Amino acid sequence: DRSGFTTREQPIPVRDGSIEVRIYTPDVETSDGPFPLVMLFHGGGFYAGDLNTEDKGAWEICVGAKAVVVNVGYRLAPEHKFPIPVNDCYDAMEWAIANAKELNVDASRIATIGTSAGGSLSAAVALKDLDSGHQRVRFIASIQPVTCHPDYYPEKYLNDLRSMSTYADGDVLNRDGVYQSIRYYLHDGKEDATSPYYSILLANNLRDLPPTYIVVGGRDPLRDDGIVLAKELREVGVPCELDIYRGYPHAF
């Protein structure tokens, strides 16, 4: 039932060009605003996907949470490698904040949400916001994210990060697919691979992140990425809820 909201698409400026966003606004009287702002980042391994990938989820959030959702058409690898997608998503949030009045949003109530590559981006944008001297993201939802380059897992978690080998031949996503995404998205070498904007598990300021919700599939090679991030967040005092959908593959 695609009712209860309106959408519009428009180009917005980012630091070195422009991207498209699709904005979902609840159908209620203007006096009911300003609404929470949800920045939504689609999945697709950083090299696929578009504004239609998460369209259904976007309008369900808009109607269900009575929030304005900005669905971000960030530029894709391999033409636009790291950190361009991170910067696009962050710049889209900056644009939404700067245009809060026109969008009828409350810039003090911001959530970042995404699935797979988008789950990584939702955490990266919140982290980049902290590193920029702000703390404007109030909630992160990271669904089946990649949280660390598999060649640079922290030693303390080596025994916990087993799903990449257990489900190396997994349905939907396998280990070869993870490394294909890495080759497309990251420049060669250690610098990109260990950047906290890709390998958030390696960040040194996780304690400052907002409450976080993580979802993983039980038969996903990335399962333990999400589980270990939840463990680390809880260890440093960040409220974190983790849902494990046992028996499910990636992007279920």
Active site residues: 116, 220, 250
The rounded distance, in Å, linking the Cα atoms of 113 and 142 is: 6
Say if residues 229 and 147 touch (Cβ distance below 8 Å). yes
Nearby residues of 102 by Cβ (< 8 Å), 6 or more positions away:
none
Helix axes 117-131, 84-98, angle to 10 degrees: 60
Q: Please give the Cα distance from 51 to 73 (Å, whole number).
A: 6
Q: What is the DSSP string of 91-130?
A: HHHHHHHHTHHHHTEEEEEEEEEEETHHHHHHHHHHHHHH
AA identity, residue 202: L
Angstrom distance (rounded) from CA 131 to CA 92: 17
Are 166 and 230 a contacting pair, CB within 8 Å?
no
Q: Is the dihedral of CA 222, 224, 227, 230 positive or negative?
A: negative
